[in-house]
Structure 1
């Protein structure tokens, strides 16, 4: 085939390809009379130019104002239906799940996830069900959460100790929360996944010894940035034979480094397991007798457990502390609530069900600062209906979670951060589903319980120990970056330990 292509003049090949693409797009654009409203676009490229800003979810909201909560767009040769309301999102994720259960990944994500080998990005089927059982058994299920309790307690203790080391007398002292919390979360991820913390490691395949900061770069920062790399062939799959070498090299380099590091970490821990050493961790579950995972799948799953513990929980916790430092009345209310429930004792996980305002702070932060503003696209593999409109097989579905959480029909004054809106006394699980930050239906995120435990315990303890006040000018630092809603600039706040007569034991 390569020889045949080389013997065809480039001009003729380009012309044939052009007409094939035009013909395919023309066929795809034939619309059912009951199709969702279509946002007008340009020939060939569709609505791509309209999505050139860094926050496409805001563009989706603008289009919803003109075309309604459900509409279709074209990104190159792909047809997509965008959902901008909670009602429509739940219809797609729950009642029409059987028709919309597969993932649509970009070329970059396909490479970084080892062709959908991780739980979050795999298609719903036997493999998904199997690896979800593994992650529940090894990390996220009730029994696993109990096993890892001491790791979470140590993490919070270390963050508090670090902040106390910065304080001088009773004056407010400027700190950044992200660095110590991010470092401790990363350690927690290693302990849960591999059974131990890793300060540094020599990776033979790379020929270097990596520090913890370099490991974080390889396992978390680089993949998150790589996930948003744009490959124009994603929008024109009929031209996938055309090389995009610079982008391919960049993503493949990220994947090679990530794979080499995780493989090395796994091999080190496997040695301990084969020696009969008792290691209670996710890896132990993945390599137990009877498991049929390939080496590539094993590497992908261990990496997933590390990155997912290290990223979105950090985002939610940092935004929650930002809002509490910005809103002193809310911070004081939370502090008084903690004192009422915990008295002179440190807050514990057993206290969380009784701390309604802390739960409200958590859920309102999920709503207002959605960690993932756009749910990863789903693919319609059999024709269905959404919102009363016909949606043909082959269509991609985009759920604009940001629009759902800012919908004036569902939320009073959605542009304000108001934890009180979650003090309705409803069931905790109902509240967790209300913002859909953890998805819905059969593919609901398995990590919701751990995320709430870590974030609520950290926020509660930080408010219990310190008074927080934003640095001057920090109120406007709300820009975000990366695939998730990561705060662009780390939170900077002045902290002061609580007065001695009301302060709790430090450690």
Structure 2
């Protein structure tokens, strides 16, 4: 009986949604950009698969650089050319500087507190961006934490050394190592023991969260179903949120006790935040939320990118040999540090080429904040989700010669910067919603890769050749490898 009532409730709700969708579509008179014909109620949901960035790129070839889809009851616009992307991200970014909020982020009202989902006109968003820019990503702050980054990068290579000669999945080790690097930059302590497989609780918490974020949620496609939370995604998200807050509260309490007992502090990011609490610039409650956001985003995207770089190099032995020769020559000085990565132009080109082919965030999410804004010759409806398909732009033959070929030399032939000035290369976005951690990332990734290539030769497990490296993508929160990269590290000096 209980089950029948549940089905009846869902059926009635779907009927209501269908009726509302008909009313909604008939009341909207401005023509949308072209796109595949939507079905009643479900729209274009059945036309998508587990690689939406690929599917959107296919639709762009058929309908043009600006397309529209109906994903359930939500209107989605996808932009797939540098010219139109520049309109959204730079020229008219004040009208697209909000984000559509996934239902998961409504758990515990996170969407009103987490920087990623706050609109850019929000005083809280502006404050948090300013805090990060000043206390984490400024030249002075980056210099203060340079030795921490170097030590934690070497901690990662030390783990590789302990596992030398045996196949390892480097993605998991990179992710764990990056968690500790970011946590030490933020609050001067490790969050996991990367030497112990049994002490990975925090890693598992983040992975569980990423898994929930990456799930398609019926509540996002049919907002009127949110109150049912049919997949329990918001419920699970609330549980994760409380675990994060408890975890960081313990760290904050210990730091406050240390400051009181010793009359001094570490001088790290957490101490800066606690000083702001004393000045009433922020509240104690807001600190765990900011730490949660920073540690998750930084660790995941960096480890994903490094794994893709290694996969492409192992798939292309000639590029691997060139990158390794450049790095090992630079390391002959024995004093190599982050300041020397400028002397590794080929490695920098390799990194950019891997980011072009496999951007960590293939679909940059934005939201139209008002009606009547012209983009690419079409009027954007207020409230529509607007995706910039960075994957499609990176694979566009009108922008890149042989776009599907891994050829780092293209970034030596033409100087293209990371911050998306021309919108043909957008690994960190562009405009006011660009990644605030760019100054951090562009130091960490090349330095970590330089260590890995200088200290180890990398081979594939027995029975595998370079053509056997599987470069298939898996679309989740970040664009991961569908088959984790397994490699064998061999120390250079053995």
Same topology, TM > 0.5? yes
CA distance in 1, matches of 2:17, 2:339: 63
CA distance in 2, matches of 1:240, 1:21: 15
CA distance in 2, matches of 1:285, 1:376: 31
8 A Cα contact 2:274 2:284, kept in partner? no
1:426 to 415, 427, 433: 415
Distance 1:340 1:242, change over 3 A: closer
Determine the structure 1 residue equivalent to 2:98. 102
8 A Cα contact 1:375 1:398, kept in partner? yes
8 A Cα contact 1:195 1:280, kept in partner? no
CA distance in 2, matches of 1:157, 1:318: 17
Q: Show the 5 A alignment for 1:399-410.
A: 399-410=388-399
Distance 1:258 1:56, change over 3 A: same
**What displacement does 1:470 show?**
2.5
Larger CA deviation: 185-194 vs 112-121: 112-121
1:347 aligned counterpart, secondary structure: coil
2:114 to 111, 118, 123: 118
CA distance in 2, matches of 1:377, 1:152: 32
CA distance in 1, matches of 2:479, 2:17: 38
Larger CA deviation: 448-457 vs 286-295: 286-295
1:102 aligned counterpart, secondary structure: coil
**What displacement does 1:298 show?**
2.1
8 A Cα contact 2:308 2:358, kept in partner? yes
**What displacement does 1:436 show?**
0.8
Larger CA deviation: 20-29 vs 478-487: 20-29
2:46 to 19, 36, 49: 49
- Residue by residue, what CA displacement relative to the aligned partner does 1:241-298 show, whole Å, maximum 9, x if unpaired? 4453733332222222222222222222232234433122222222223344344432
Larger CA deviation: 268-277 vs 428-437: 428-437
CA distance in 1, matches of 2:46, 2:10: 27
CA distance in 2, matches of 1:238, 1:352: 51
- Residue by residue, what CA displacement relative to the aligned partner does 1:43-100 show, whole Å, maximum 9, x if unpaired? 111111112x211111111211211111111112221211111221121011011111
Distance 1:112 1:496, change over 3 A: farther
Determine the structure 2 residue equivalent to 1:287. 274
Determine the structure 2 residue equivalent to 1:128. 125
8 A Cα contact 1:100 1:382, kept in partner? no
CA distance in 2, matches of 1:373, 1:12: 35
CA distance in 2, matches of 1:176, 1:76: 38
8 A Cα contact 1:364 1:417, kept in partner? yes
1:467 aligned counterpart, secondary structure: strand
CA distance in 2, matches of 1:150, 1:68: 48
Structure 1 vs Structure 2 CA RMSD: 2.8
Determine the structure 2 residue equivalent to 1:470. 460
2:295 to 306, 312, 320: 306
Find out whether 1:259 has 2:245 as its counterpart.
Answer: yes
Find out whether 1:79 has 2:75 as its counterpart.
Answer: yes
Determine the structure 1 residue equivalent to 2:3. none
Determine the structure 2 residue equivalent to 1:271. 257
Aligned length: 476
Distance 1:492 1:237, change over 3 A: closer
CA distance in 2, matches of 1:15, 1:349: 56
Determine the structure 2 residue equivalent to 1:58. 54
Determine the structure 1 residue equivalent to 2:4. none
Determine the structure 1 residue equivalent to 2:5. none
Runs of 5+ unmatched residues, structure 1: 1-8, 201-209, 501-507
- Residue by residue, what CA displacement relative to the aligned partner does 1:344-380 show, whole Å, maximum 9, x if unpaired? 4253111111211111011111111111111123233
Determine the structure 2 residue equivalent to 1:215. 202
1:194 to 187, 190, 209: 187
CA distance in 2, matches of 1:485, 1:18: 32
TM-score (norm 2): 0.88
Find out whether 1:155 has 2:152 as its counterpart.
Answer: yes
Q: Show the 5 A alignment for 1:418-497.
A: 418-424=407-413, 426=415, 428-429=417-418, 434-471=424-461, 472=464, 474-476=468-470, 478-480=472-474, 482-497=476-491
Find out whether 1:178 has 2:171 as its counterpart.
Answer: yes
CA distance in 2, matches of 1:336, 1:19: 62
Larger CA deviation: 372-381 vs 323-332: 372-381
TM-score (norm 1): 0.86
Larger CA deviation: 485-494 vs 417-426: 485-494
CA distance in 1, matches of 2:26, 2:350: 49
1:380 to 361, 369, 374: 369
Q: Show the 5 A alignment for 1:347-366.
A: 347-366=336-355
CA distance in 1, matches of 2:87, 2:455: 43
CA distance in 2, matches of 1:419, 1:214: 38
1:267 aligned counterpart, secondary structure: helix
8 A Cα contact 1:380 1:397, kept in partner? no
CA distance in 1, matches of 2:10, 2:162: 68
1:352 aligned counterpart, secondary structure: helix
